Amino acid sequence: MTQRQLLQVLEEYLKGRMHFVQTMSELASRGQNMKMLKNANVMALLQPLMLDVDPSVQQIATQALGRLVGHSEEMAKELVQGEVLPQIVNSLPKHNNYYKKAATLVLRSVAKHSATLAKAVVDCGTLDSLMICLDEFDPGVKESAIWVLCHVARHNEDLAQAVVDAGAVPFLVLSMQEPEIALRRVAVSALSDISKHSMELAHIVAETGTIAILAQMILNPDTKLKRQVFSVLSQIGKHSVDLAELVVEAEVFPTVFICLQDPDEVVRKNVAILVCEIAKHTSELSQLIVNAGALPALVDFIGENEGSVRLPAVMALGYIAAHAETLATAVIMSLGIPQLTQVLSNEAEENYVRAATAWSLGQIGGHSSEHAVAVAGENVLPKLLQIYTSPDSSDDFQNKAKNALKNILQKCVHLPALEPLLRDSPQNILKHVVIQYSKFKHQLSPARQVLHSHTRPKTSSLWVANVLELSRFISLFLILNAVC
Amino acid sequence: MRYLHDAATTIQRHWRGFFQRKSFHVLLRNALHTRNMEFYNCKAFNIQKIWRGYYVRKYVHNYYARKIYLETLMVANQITRIQLKEIVGSKACEWDRRFRESDEQRMDRLACRTHYLVSTRQIPGIYNSPFLKEPMDMERRLIEARPRINAERFLISARNSTRDWTEMSYQKPCSIPHIRAKKPQGPFLEQSQIWRHRLKPLEPTLRVATSFTSAEEAALEQKREEWRTRVIDDAFLPFANHRKNKKYEPLLQTSCAFGSIDYGTHHFRDTDTTKNISKKPFKTITRTIPLFEKFGKMYC
């Protein structure tokens, strides 16, 4: 065989490998081919090609493997068991940018499925090689490296701590300020995944001056970036009062309400979550937010949106009202209650939103008699009662409705509002209603008329089971009757 | 006997009177004291009552402050609502525009890819139904679609990302590198090389990039720096004797930028070849800067 023939054969072999690898890569990018590929045991064929002589075959094989593994968890486990990962990780720093991108794609696909797989990835020493990748100039390589960090840190606190210990946070903060939008997005989402687990991690993220940079990115026109920015801010602010104060000091607050009316739903939801997490902590923070104009923004937000997007806003109103009586009055005066009752009655699918609304109403009405009157004025109490007594509300929902009713009833002295409750309420609620009525024993006519029409028929029927309750009830009844 | 009793009673009577009269003063003083204390206590209660009322009304639960706060909050809420509406209104136009633009671009790209669906004279295309009065909008797009070359595609994507034009560098398209299939006969350069050179952005040389007036600007900057930093013109020289109180000014001929010239040089700019490492002079291996700048950038 001459030299030329040998070269020809070798070139054909190379072409064959390239063709195979490219087709696999294309097939793997579509989800429906996964089963076929798995049955054909393509993984075992691709693994040795990753160590091929020709660099382009190597790169495309790695890319194909990355895509394959991304679609199914069993393949990821197989890959980890085949102990290919350490080789990929070790060769990461040596090869060119395409290989780096493909290799990081593989690592990312393995790490995203579960915490054990992510741990396996970290154990191979990925984080150090990734730090080297982050040093590169090419933004595509940086982006893929940060994606891996994102997926690793997402699962649990230890992994996020490992990522932080490898020194990733300064790189992420620098990448956030790069001009490429995709890089920024992914850096911000990595920070969000790191800071969501615990207070120390959030502290580490916040102390590098990140919050100021994030605050500047709020009015960036890119939607996905905004989603991630608000999600980071809410993750940082949720852990402790100091962190929430840090977020507020970055002067995000009046500007954030503009984004409550962003056309993208996820952005709006994330903004509402941010407001809710910050209002949760102390009454001073709630007051700060209210002074910045949160109430009209939240109330309008509840009115204009549907479904689970409203949940954080409803909870935010509840938290604000729960802290102080003045704030609860402010919520009432900003016409919060009509909106909340509308949610309670109109929300068809999401019962947890209605449960949160019931809770919020309870918080608002529980401060004093004026608050209870304001809440009861919108015909809320019969609705709450109906929710409590209906058999198809979930336990959690019933609990919340009951607590809300109790809270409001303990302060409500407005008799017309209490009237509808006398008819069908169960014992424990009726007890509170009657106690409220007994406070009016010194007044004559309104109590008398109502009593005659409602309580007499009730006691004549034998729905009172518990003896203690009966005695208590009778004693109260006697007190009331002494009036008549 | 009776006399003794009477005498004893008299003595006791006198004694009791005397003794009680003495303790009467003490009693009186005590009673006065308690009455005074009661009086002062009443006054103190009064003061404390007034103070507590004032303090609670002013600091703990100030009704009027709360009222004013709620009223101003309502006004502020109204203002916030109006401002938000304004800002969102202006943004909404922009969002709308961008949405429509992206929609337009998407349709144009679709038309580019499916240009073969354009209707011909023989066969009307799917967007040119005979039942419609005039062809659909897509038809117009199909007709206006022009083929796009690879280069434009990534130039467009480069333009879309928010970058300064001077920072735009060659971005290879996302396709995989070609394998050397069949090389066309002839001394042709590689496609990728050609495109790289054609689409190279401007990389001005150092000479071009320095401003025309850079020397004057540097002088100005130095002047400004001196004006800013030099606070004292006459440095404090701490000799008691005024004859010694002069700053030493070295000769221009015996000093160079790195301090004074070595001891033993015979004349200014004297070179001593015995101290050199080798006998031959140094040879420049690297090219000079203007030539080195063209490295890798020429089309060869």
Closest-CA distance of chain B to residue A397, Å: 32
**What is the rounded distance in angstroms from the CA atom of residue B170 to the CA atom of residue B194?**
12
CA angle B86, A223, A138 (to 5 degrees): 135
> Which two three-digit tokens encode residue A28?
């793997």
Interchain CB distance below 8 Å, B88 and A60: no
Instruction: Classify residue A439 by burial, with Cβ atoms within 10 Å: 0-12, 13-18, 19+.
Output: exposed
The whole-number pLDDT of residue B48 equals 93
pLDDT at position A83, please? 79
CB contact under 8 A, A330 and B81: no
For residue A196, pLDDT over 60 is answered with yes
Helix (H, G, I), strand (E, B) or coil at B255: strand
Helix, strand, coil % in chain A, rounded to nearest 5: 80, 0, 20
Q: Does A16 touch chain B (CB under 8 A)?
A: no
User: What does the domain layout of chain B look like in residue ranges?
Assistant: 1-61
All residues of chain A having their beta carbon less than 8 Å from the beta carbon of residue B179 are: 14-15, 18, 56
What burial class does residue A114 get, using C-beta atoms within 10 Å of its C-beta: 0-12 exposed, 13-18 middle, 19+ buried? middle
Q: How confident is the model at residue B151 (pLDDT cuts 50, 70, 90)?
A: low
Q: d(Cα B177, Cα B179) in Å, to the nearest integer?
A: 7
Q: b/e for A330-355, b at 16 or more Cβ within 10 A?
A: bbbbbbbbebbbebbeebeebeebbb
Please give the Cα distance from A438 to A419 (Å, whole number): 14
Cα dist from A10 to A14, A54, A57, A62, B178, whole Å:
6, 12, 14, 22, 17
- Please answer yes or no on whether A296 and B84 come within 8 Å at the CB atom: yes
* Contact criterion met (CB below 8 Å) for A318 and A356: yes
pLDDT of residue A464: 39
The percent of residues in chain A predicted with pLDDT above 70, rounded, is: 90
Return the pLDDT at A449.
52
Chain A residues close to B169, C-beta within 8 Å: none
Considering only the beta carbons, identify the residue of A221, A296, A330 that sits closest to B81.
Answer: A296
Mutation target for A interface from B60, B68, B71, B80: give the one with most A CBs within 10 A. B80
Which pLDDT belongs to residue A233? 93
* A254·B66 Cβ contact <8 A: no
Contact B177/A329, CB-based, under 8 Å? no
Q: Tokens 């090419």 correspond to what residue? A: A138
Distance CA A49, CA A59 (A): 9
B10 touches chain A (CB under 8 A): no
Mean pLDDT over residues A119-147, rounded? 86
- At A5-49, the pLDDT tens digits run 999 999 999 899 889 888 888 888 887 777 787 777 888 888 888
What percent of chain A stands above pLDDT 90?
19
Chain B residues near residue A15 by CB distance under 8 angstroms: 179, 181
Give CA–CA dist A476/A484, Å, rounded. Answer: 13
* pLDDT for the residue numbered A318: 92
- Alpha helices of A347-414 — where are they, by DSSP H? 351-365, 369-376, 380-389, 395-411
Task: Tell me if B88 and A261 make a contact (CB, 8 A cut-off).
Answer: yes
Q: Which residues pair with B259 in a beta bridge?
A: B256
The pLDDT of residue B41 is 95
* B60, containing H or E segment: none
| Closest residue to B176, CB basis, from A60, A179, A257 | A60
Measured between CA atoms, the residue of chain B closest to residue A219 is B91
Cα→Cα distances A354→A308, A310, A360, A401, Å: 10, 10, 10, 9
* Whether pLDDT at A459 is above 60: no
- Residue pair A27/A33 in contact (Cβ under 8 Å)? The answer is yes
Mean pLDDT of chain B: 80
When mean pLDDT is compared across A115-129, A171-185, A243-257, B187-201, the lowest value belongs to B187-201
The DSSP letter of residue A197 is: S
Residue A474 — very low, low, confident or very high, per pLDDT cuts 50/70/90? low
Calculate the alpha carbon distances from B60 to A222, A289, B57 in Å.
47, 22, 6
Inspect the interface and report whether the beta carbons of A291 and B80 lie closer than 8 Å.
no
Contact B177 A15 (CB under 8 A): no
Give the number of other CB atoms < 10 A from CB of residue B124: 13
- A22 contacts on B by Cβ (under 8 Å): 176
CB within 8 Å: B95 and A263: yes
Contact A300 B179 (CB under 8 A): no
B180-A88-A157 Cα angle (round to 5): 140
- Assign A232 a pLDDT band (cuts: 50, 70, 90): very high
The CA distance from B84 to the nearest CA of chain A, in Å, is: 6
Measured between beta carbons, which residues in chain B are less than 8 angstroms from residue A301? none
- ipTM for this model: 0.74
Q: What DSSP element (H or E) covers B259?
A: strand B259-260
